Structure 1
Amino acid sequence: MQILAVLKSRKITPEQIFMLSVLLVNGGNYLYNLILGRILGPAQFADAAVLITFLLVLSFAAMTFQLVTAKFSVLFENDVLGNFVTKIYKQALLVGVLMGIAIVVFSKQLQIVFNTSSSNMFVIFGVGVPLYFLMSVNRGVYQGKKAFKNLSITYQLEMLSRLLITLGIIFLLNIQSSVVIAIGILLSFAFGLIPFKFSLLNFKGHISLSETQTKNIRNFFVITAFYELTQIIINNSDILLVKHYFESYEAGLYASLALIGRIVYFIAWMFVMLLLPTVVQQKKDGLDTAPTLFKYVGYIAAISTTIVLVCSIMPQTIITILFGKSYIAMAPLLWKYAIATSMFAISNIFAYYYLSLDKYIPVVISGIFGVLQIALVVFYHESLAQVVHVQIIAMFLLLCIQLVFFKLSHNKKAVSLK
């Protein structure tokens, strides 16, 4: 009884609700991928992996608008905020439409490059792209204002609708096609718009942002877009390059490896969502932001270590449970891939931290190593093991340089304070 009384007396914070929600969303997305992997098998799952990778690429591209919206939703208020949000919606819709048209127009070429069985899946995906950009701006408003309940709902609805619609069509109509997966993704974008923040829209009013405000938005947008591009390169180039260089069966095996090994990155993303508005607000209030960085780096380091150890101790068991025995060939590489993604996840926390503080050198560093990773895979892809090994090298160097930059900048700040 005493334990129940204590639990009732403790209120769950919005941040804790969001963290639990993100874990549930990531769990649902993993279930979605795992079921597809088991139903389709390695060869057909390779096609699904291309669409899933395109979805991740889209999420990083749209994340630029979400982070910009989140940051300036903290800094702006009242009419200025309404004008800013309206303007960012218009820009996001324009970019989404142009990107969607490009995917539809070049769908045949995409089919050839990635060796997929259909071009229609790219056409359907392209139609949904503008919706995703609108959804990201909407989420940016909730993130900046720390409205974590509504932010959680948008992610939950997107995940649940994609899971239920896709698997519903596959099981009820017995259709196993990449087009079905594309339809599920498209419809999930519409559900992800709920709830939509209509109250901040101001289409009638004049966009009255000062020259300084516009310059700050533009500078942050450009550097964030560059950083998200590096995220796209580091996170997804390996899967797309493997799909290009290897046969469908091997590409499907690698896709399963990547999906399991990236657990740590998706958990780290949850902390990034909390980190950015917190650091921006602390800087605005003149507070020390370093303790916040240390806290989140500690969380990710502990989680990463646990995941790597588990993957090294029982790789065959993990792969068999999640994907089945047909994917067991990837067992020896599982812990190695987890090391690469762990180092990237920790580096990512440092980069987003400095991005929140308007310091952009770590972003440039990430871009350089994103290009390095592509070059290494292009030149060294004799086997899937070699692809994993070169990624470990690139991510180890990236993390070392990020740590050196933090040490130097922290020492410089300490000297200036003295």
Structure 2
Amino acid sequence: MNFILLKKYQKNIYPIFDLGLNGINYFTHIICSWFLSESSYGNLNALLSFLSILFVSGVSLQFLTAKEVAKNEILNFTIIKLAIKYLIFIIFIYFLFSMKLKLFLHSNYFSLTILIFIFIFNTFLCIFRGIFQGKEEFLYLNISFYIEILSKFILLIIFFQVFKSEIAVLFAILLGMIFSFLQGFFYGFKRINKNFSRYNYLKEFSYIFISNFFIYYFTSVDMILVNYKLNIESGIYAVVLRYSQLILFISFSVITTFVPTLSKYSSSIEILKSKIKKYLLILLSVHSILLILYIFILPFTIKYLFGMKYIQAEKYLYLGAIAYVLLANCFYLVNVNIILKRKLYLYLLSFFSIIYIIIFYLFINNILQVFLLSIITYLFLFISLTITLIYEGESL
């Protein structure tokens, strides 16, 4: 009876369960900071940031799958075929540049090999999660995430008893991903139409991929560049980033519940406009509460959670929060543009990503400057996305 009740209100309670999920995931990173040195913790976060860029394909396939299933109630096998072709291409490129990646990420070939296996399982796992999302089965989506995170958490505790290095974390992530994949395959495979469609999903996937790539690029490239250029401060920056990314986790869980509804009303312009404004106000309300916490409460928790060696992170916490609130709102507007099949926003994302990395490489010398650069970049990106959305909206 309780399970039936959960399914009835699963859309409303999804963000709550997702918040708990991210709490466990966050505590996992705290444990990593305890067992690893500052330098190793910085290197680990650089590897995870690079992995999140690889995960863009999975996120994009999940979005595409959710749209397809929301409209047709079943997933066409052509999307699976597209995923397989994409994987083969990326794996080839990955190993072709593996030597340069090893040097850039301060890593080794063993870690890079584990990363590619994580990437493969994540890609197919995201397709099954897209099926759950498209059918608004948010309870199964929660279960999928909990299997992955809880497995990773338990395995990490075990592995750290044997060897205290980045390898322990990567192995735990891989096995957690595999366990979640098996659950997704069991529940989601029956929702896949085994016949091929004449419809070419490549173009639509490309637009979604490019959109998500730039968002995940912004959440990852800073950590990678800090680890490469400001390695001494990378541990401090990683702690601030862990706090800041909580804003994204909360925002993404809320936005995830918006996507099916916005997709359904994509052809009903007046209703869609109303929904876009309503959801943006909800998001801004959540962010206002979070900013208060980041300014007045969370800085005092660093010494208790991460230890005194990371105490310097507390003076940067509010800056990281401002940057990621802006970025989360940019992510929401990008999703709206994807649903409306717009194109102009892609040029904005390209422009700001290039400007960001150029300024970082040429002028940034400490992590305070990194945060200021991020705030300015995301603020102007949000303003630009808002203007283009209004401007293109006149032609609706």
TM over 0.5: yes
2:220 counterpart of 1:218: no
Q: Which residue of 2 aligns with 1:186?
A: 174
One-letter code aligned to 1:233: Y
Q: TM-score, normalised by structure 1?
A: 0.86
1:235 is displaced (CA, Å) by: 1.1
Match of 2:157 among 160, 167, 187: 167
| CA-based RMSD | 2.4
Residue 382 of structure 1 aligns to a residue whose secondary structure is: coil
Checking the alignment, whether the CA contact within 8 Å between 1:355 and 1:363 is kept in structure 2 is no
Look up the SS of the partner of 1:195 in the other structure: helix
Find the residue that maps to 2:368 and give its secondary structure: helix
Matching residue's letter, 2:16: L
After TM superposition, the structure 1 stretch with the greater mean CA deviation from structure 2, 302-311 or 139-148, is 302-311
Relative to structure 1, the CA distance from residue 21 to residue 91 in structure 2 (aligned partners, 3 Å threshold; closer, same or farther) is same
Choose from 233, 236, 244 the match for 2:217.
233
Which residue of 2 is the match for residue 87 of structure 1?
Answer: 78
Distance 2:331 2:6 in 1: 33
Q: Aligned with 2:37: secondary structure?
A: helix
TM-score after normalising by structure 2? 0.91
Deviations 1:89-148 (A, max 9, x none): 1221332344345445644432211223x3311111212322111111111111111111
Which residue type is aligned with residue 392 of structure 1? Answer: I
Q: CA deviation at 1:256?
A: 0.9
Among 10, 28, 33, which residue is 2:29 paired with? Answer: 33
Q: What is aligned with 1:198? A: 189
Instruction: Name the SS of the counterpart of 1:262 in structure 2.
Output: helix
Whole-angstrom CA distance in 1 between matches of 2:157 and 2:97: 28
Aligned pair partner of 1:96 in 87, 90, 99: 87
Contact 1:93 1:130 in 2 (8 A): no
Q: Which residue of 1 aligns with 2:227?
A: 243
Quote the offset at 1:69 in angstroms.
Answer: 1.0
Show the counterpart of 1:318: 301
2:303–2:310 contact (8 Å) kept in structure 1: yes
Give distance in 2, aligned partners of 1:293 and 1:66. Answer: 21
Q: Tell me the distance in 1 between the aligned counterparts of 2:126 and 2:215.
A: 16
**1:358, CA displacement in angstroms?**
1.4
1:67 aligns with 2:58: no
Residues 266 and 9 from structure 1, CA distance in 2 versus in 1: closer, same or farther, beyond 3 angstroms?
A: closer
Counterpart in the other structure of 2:355? 372
Which residue does 1:114 correspond to in 2? 105
Equivalent-residue separation in structure 1 for 2:338 and 2:5 (angstroms) = 38
Give the letter aligned to residue 260 of structure 1.
Answer: Y
Q: Which of 110, 135, 141 is 2:131 aligned to?
A: 141
Structure 1: where are the runs of 5+ without partners? 1-7
What does the per-residue CA deviation read over 1:378-411, in whole Å, with 9 as the maximum and x for residues that have no partner? Answer: 122111111111111111111111222233344x
> Structure 1 vs Structure 2: percent identity of aligned residues?
20
CA 1:389/1:319 → structure 2, altered by over 3 Å: closer, same or farther?
A: same
Pick the structure with greater CA Rg: 1
Count residues with an aligned counterpart.
390
Inter-partner Cα distance in structure 1 for 2:326 and 2:167:
35
What is the CA distance between 1:366 and its match in structure 2?
2.3
The equivalent residue for 2:39 is: 43
* Residue 52 of structure 1: aligned partner: 48
In 2, Cα distance between the equivalents of 1:164 and 1:285?
47
Q: CA deviation at 1:315?
A: 5.5
Amino acid in structure 2 at the alignment position of 1:406: L
- Determine the C-alpha separation between the residues in 1 that align with 2:168 and 2:318: 33
SS in 2 for 1:283: coil
